[in-house]
Amino acid sequence: MENLSSTALLCKSAKAAVNKISAIGDKKINAALFEMANAIEASRDSILAANEIDIERAQGVISEVMIDRLRLTKERISSMADGIRAIAALPSPLGITLEEKTRPNGLVIEKISVPMGVIAIIYESRPNVTSDAAALSLKSGNVCILRGGKEAYNSSLAIVTAMKSGLKKVGITEDAINLVSDTTRASATELMRASGYVDLLIPRGGAGLIRACVENSTVPCLETGTGICHVYVDKDADIQKALSIIENAKTSRPSVCNAAEVCLVDKQIAESFLPLLKETLVDKRAAEGKTPVCLKLCEESIKIIDGERACSEDFDTEFLDYILAVKVVHSADEAIEHIASHSTHHSEAIITENKETAKKFVSSVDSAAVYINASTRFTDGGEFGLGCEMGISTQKMHARGPLGIRELTTYKYVITGDGQIR
Amino acid sequence: MENLSSTALLCKSAKAAVNKISAIGDKKINAALFEMANAIEASRDSILAANEIDIERAQGVISEVMIDRLRLTKERISSMADGIRAIAALPSPLGITLEEKTRPNGLVIEKISVPMGVIAIIYESRPNVTSDAAALSLKSGNVCILRGGKEAYNSSLAIVTAMKSGLKKVGITEDAINLVSDTTRASATELMRASGYVDLLIPRGGAGLIRACVENSTVPCLETGTGICHVYVDKDADIQKALSIIENAKTSRPSVCNAAEVCLVDKQIAESFLPLLKETLVDKRAAEGKTPVCLKLCEESIKIIDGERACSEDFDTEFLDYILAVKVVHSADEAIEHIASHSTHHSEAIITENKETAKKFVSSVDSAAVYINASTRFTDGGEFGLGCEMGISTQKMHARGPLGIRELTTYKYVITGDGQIR
């Protein structure tokens, strides 16, 4: 941090802001969140104008899909503001006595939830992450450093400017929300190595960004991640449930991390089930004018239904598309083993009416979320009742699954004595 | 991991062992722990003989203090075995439903405590860490990879051999406990980068080791740490409590991380308090034949009592010795600011009878353990009622303070549905 780049200066002022917001209390935080939401709506025109600049510059530089993610509309701005208000409505995760005990020597030991301090979020082109991340950080008592993608910089700056004016209205330091102005790779690397300034780093984005953070970070980093999610159709499955869950898990939103990528089918039902799977995902969808799913079939399944022959990489690919790899397994154990070797530990589901098999599956599968007879698409902060989220953790340290406000806190031990010595 | 060094092979077999021990249950784990303890006692002679080889090789290579830490005796071996039995007696941290809720759509979401998987521990020369770390890992359902210091290798190998025979007796795979045979730096680096094999890395040792892990790890790493612990004597302190707590915090075991290194004294009582501090820590101890404490005094305190003049580094040094830096501060706020700039976020104490000041101090000081009127020496798994510990975390992610068995677990979401789709 010696050369004092703009990012280093930001880290310093963020760190200094931690104490200024540490004792403001949930009431004032919520007041600030409402003012931030109002300010975003009041600044709608300037935010849209800034977004227009970003969109123009991005034309021909990034894909149409990415440009769509980048684009703001009146509705999207309102929904950003509503998202902030929804976060304000959540109960505070701070100051909760997680445990309390009195030791034989009379010491009272309390374990109390507290903010992390400074949270840095490195993300890509969606401007709504700017408001979500800032609001989640503030609600959990944290100062945030936002490092968005360069394509969205003008949009993010306009949103942050509005949010800062909201903070100012209730007398909270504007340094509680910080936007990195340097959008080159240098600033991301600087944040990854800002030991002593950044208490928690959360990368949100593609596999390349996550890998760069894991490789280069010296600050504690919460890996959010890719999802190669599996649905295993057991021999004791209810076939209608299986078909509806797989169609939902695969096609309701193929581009997200909780979409299913692989279907494992028990050999005992493969002959009857696979033709129905093809009918549901391919033929029926085509007939209804929906995008049919491209099935990538293992050696055994291709003998039963038509489709592309899967290559081995297909079972290690997050397609994020209307593509499903299909594999016949000879037992629940083989399904569990396949998942152990190929899963990214995000979400997996078993479809079965057999309680014993279900129990074995959930105890053996090592993923953040393991489902019995439900779609993997439910792995989401909102669906879990946590409010909006900072991402889905696929590592096991600190937090697993959806990162809500509680997952942005830590704890401290407060020990009250009367002169005790050891 | 491509070249398959001995360490890489160990990582592979450790990973493969995770599923083998995932469902054995607390009863069998405890049976194994008792057999491990018994086997260590039964192997006393071979462990002592192995330790003798380590001691001989270490003569003249490492300091006398380190050789003392390395040395095993009959008593130390019994206390290792008793430590394992004490861990067996703890309630299991596994399979606990941390939360359960039913969503409006009927999905039942349970959050259940589960093992981390593979825990790697890199430590230095104390052989008892070998048995503690293995027992804590097994009790919490984890496979461990132990990478001890080269000075203690023969001792560790003899201890691990005994523990493996204990595992075998109850039919648990011996791969649940793994000792790295390569004690060069290469194996430590390999563990730090064993993504996909090591779920959690815990370095236990000096600042150099911790820094190397933080710098080089790509696997999640729990920073344990150095302790520059502060005791602040407020203007409203009970002087007798202050003197007894400081003497205890400084001198009861100066070489450990929860010992106090800095005493901050409020200016309003400095003139009366500092002479008593000197009397307690220096004059009286010398008269009683105890090691007197060397006081490193700030500009203001050196006007009041005799002692060495402190240089600025003295307030950023973990002395681990009979040395105490002393600084006069003008208010509780200045004490809090000093701690914010110089603490390692381990343990700090305030001595005061003023509840408001105490409240402010504990809410503002950002350390794992914050004490009111008690010695910092209590930051310890045993003293906190957690059983023995894997170290003291000074970071904020995952776990803070003493790392007991619960801190070696993570959780998974188990979601039970009846065909729900999103």
pLDDT tens for residues B159-200? 999 999 999 999 999 999 999 999 999 999 999 999 999 999
A377, A396, A413 member nearest B368 (Cβ): A413
CB A263 within 8 A of CB A297: no
Q: Which of B98, B366, B390, B400 would best serve as a mutation to test chain A binding (most A beta carbons within 10 A)? A: B366
pLDDT tens for residues A148-185? 999 999 999 999 999 999 999 999 999 999 999 999 99
Give me the percent of chain A exceeding a pLDDT of 70.
Answer: 99
H-helix or E-strand spanning residue A29: helix A25-42
Mean of per-residue pLDDT scores for chain B: 95
- B158 to chain A, minimum CA–CA distance in Å? 32
B109, B199, B411 member nearest A384 (Cβ): B109
How far from B313 is each of A250, B152, B281, B296, B325, CA to CA, in Å? 60, 33, 22, 11, 10
Whether chain B has a CB inside 8 Å of the CB on A243: the answer is: no
Higher pLDDT, A125 or B363: B363
Cβ of B200 within 8 Å of Cβ of A384? The answer is no
| A3 — pLDDT class (breaks 50, 70, 90) | low
CA distance A31 to A196: 30
Cβ of B384 within 8 Å of Cβ of A410? The answer is no
CA distance A362 to A350: 8
CA distance B416 to B422: 14
DSSP three-state, residue A392? strand
| Confidence (pLDDT) at A68 | 87
Residue A19: closest CA among chain B residues belongs to which residue? Answer: B364
Whether chain A has a CB inside 8 Å of the CB on B107: the answer is: yes
CB pairs under 8 A between A and B: 201
Identify the residue whose tokens are 């309003």. B268
pLDDT tens for residues B316-336? 999 999 999 999 999 999 999
| Confidence (pLDDT) at A207 | 83
User: Residue B208 pLDDT more than 70?
Assistant: yes
| B3 — pLDDT class (breaks 50, 70, 90) | low
Query: Would you identify the CATH topology of the domain A6-224+397-416?
Result: Aldehyde Dehydrogenase; Chain A, domain 1 (3.40.605)
Which B residues 145-204 touch A at CB under 8 Å? 195, 199-200
Whether chain A has a CB inside 8 Å of the CB on B409: the answer is: no
CA angle, A8 then A10 then A13, to 5°: 115
User: Which segments of B22-119 does DSSP mark as H helices, in order?
Assistant: 25-42, 44-58, 64-70, 74-88
Instruction: Please report residues of B whose CB lies closer than 8 A to that of A413.
Output: 368-370, 379, 384, 400-401
Instruction: Count the neighbouring beta carbons within 10 Å of the beta carbon of residue A213.
Output: 25
How far from A110 is each of B157, B322, B359, CA to CA, in Å? 40, 31, 13
Once rounded to an integer, what is the mean pLDDT over residues A218-222?
Answer: 93
How far from A336 is each of A230, A289, A401, CA to CA, in Å? 10, 35, 20
The CATH superfamily label for domain B229-378 reads Aldehyde Dehydrogenase; Chain A, domain 2 (3.40.309.10)
CA distance A378 to B203: 37
Mean of per-residue pLDDT scores for chain A: 95
Domain boundaries along the sequence of chain B: 6-224+397-416, 229-378
First-to-last CA distance in chain B? 40
Pull the structure tokens for residue B237: 């302190």
Once rounded to an integer, what is the mean pLDDT over residues A374-394?
Answer: 93
CA angle, B54 then B60 then B65, to 5°: 75
Query: How many helices (H) and strands (E) would you count in chain B?
Result: 14, 16
Contacts of B275 (CB under 8 A, 6+ apart): B304, B305
Whether chain A has a CB inside 8 Å of the CB on B97: the answer is: no
CA distance A247 to A370: 18
Beta-ladder partners of B349:
B231, B371
pLDDT tens for residues A254-300? 988 999 999 999 999 999 999 999 999 999 999 999 999 999 999 99
Identify the residue whose tokens are 């500092």. B274
Model-level ipTM above the cut of 0.85: yes
Once rounded to an integer, what is the mean pLDDT over residues B85-107?
Answer: 97
